[in-house]
Amino acid sequence: MDILKHRQQRAIVLFKKVDHFELNVCQRLNRMGHRREICVFFKAISRLGDGVFWYTLALALPFILGIEGVYALVHITITGLICLGIYSQLKNRLVRQRPFISFPDIHAHTAPLDKYSFPSGHTMNAVNFALLFSWFYPPLMWLVIPFAALVGLSRIVLGMHYPTDVIVGAILGLAISACSIVLYPNGLMHSFVEKTI
């Protein structure tokens, strides 16, 4: 327990230095949210990125692709749960406070889902899902990749995250989805079914 607290203290000291380095970018992007139409747009993107957008697409896959869509749905669900487990653990261990908590001039244009910001779970999931949807059903690429980029940007504009939260979240999401594709190019369940038949 003492080791964990010691590591958290070290992370807090490091993040305080990085926070000030990133503050200028955060302030500039966060000011965009003072314009009502921009705020409404990015709140909608962020809200859809909570899951509604991805769940809708995922549930549509079996109707579009048949049994292959079911395999894709299972694969996407499992990697989503892996992302959830990883970013939850990292947030609770690294305890980086959100920008609007650390700096009074950064406004929270939406309600946070939790207290800590590193890494961005929204971005991690968005990049993971964007790559997987593009892999399993390439016509969706033109929709999911721009949407994932907007989700990452929205988290900074809304005062929820620093740029490094978003960048690291994107890298982790990309790594998880890419590894899952390399290991199971036809989907996790598809590979399981092939082995058991």
Q: Is 161 a catalytic residue?
A: yes
Residue 62: is the preceding peptide bond cis (ω within 30°)? Answer: no
Annotated catalytic residue, options 75, 109, 161, 190:
161
Q: Quick one: CA dihedral 179, 153, 27, 24, positive or negative?
A: positive
Q: How many CB atoms lie within 10 A of CB 69?
A: 19
Q: Is 122 a catalytic residue?
A: yes
Contact 195, 149 (CB under 8 A): no
Q: In the 8-state DSSP scheme, what is residue 52? A: I
By residue count, the chain amounts to 197
CA 149 to CA 32: how far, in whole Å?
17
Task: Please give the positions annotated as active site.
Answer: 122, 161
